[in-house]
Amino acid sequence: MQQASEATIAHLEILAKLMDDQFEVLGFRFGVNFIIDLIPEIGDIVTTGIALYIFGLAIRYNISTWTKLHMLANIAIYFIVGLILWLGDFFGAWWKPNRKNIELLRQVL
C-alpha cells in the first residue's frame, strides 16, 4: 500500500465536489451526477462508474476492510435506488455518495 498524497486527495475532493455539490438552486446543492442521472439507464451506469473510479483510487491506500465495505455500500445504495425513475435521480442528488466516500477516506488517513 502507498501513502496518500495530498495531490491525490485534492484530486478526489475536486472530483467529488464536481459530481455531488457543484451547483446550488434554492439552497439545494447538486452536482453533475444529477444531470447525468437524468439520462435513462446510461446515466446511472456512468455516474456509478465515476463513483467506482474514486473508490478504486481510495483503496490503493492503507484503509480498513470496514471502510472499503462502507464506501461500497454508499455506492451500491446510490446505484440501486438510482434505478427508480425520477425518485432515484433526486435521491442520488441528496445521498451524495462521492462526498460521503471522500469524508470516510479523510477520516481514516
Residue 41, sorted as left (phi over 0), alpha (psi -120 to 50) or beta, turns out to be left
d(CA 61, CA 49): 20
The residue extents of the domains of the chain are 6-108
With a CB cutoff of 8 Å and minimum separation 6, the contacts of 99 are 16, 17, 20, 21
Which residue matches cell numbers 495531490? 7
Compute the mean pLDDT over every residue in the chain, rounded to the nearest whole number. 92
The sign of the torsion formed by the CA atoms of 63, 64, 67, 71 equals positive
Task: Tell me the pLDDT band of 4, cut-offs 50, 70 and 90.
Answer: low
Per-residue model confidence as pLDDT tens digits over 21-64:
999 999 999 999 999 999 987 999 999 999 999 999 888 888 89
What confidence score (pLDDT) does residue 59 get?
86
With a CB cutoff of 8 Å and minimum separation 6, the contacts of 103 are none
Number of H helices, E strands in the chain: 6, 2
Task: Tell me the pLDDT band of 17, cut-offs 50, 70 and 90.
Answer: very high
Strand partners, 30: 23
Single pTM value for the model: 0.89
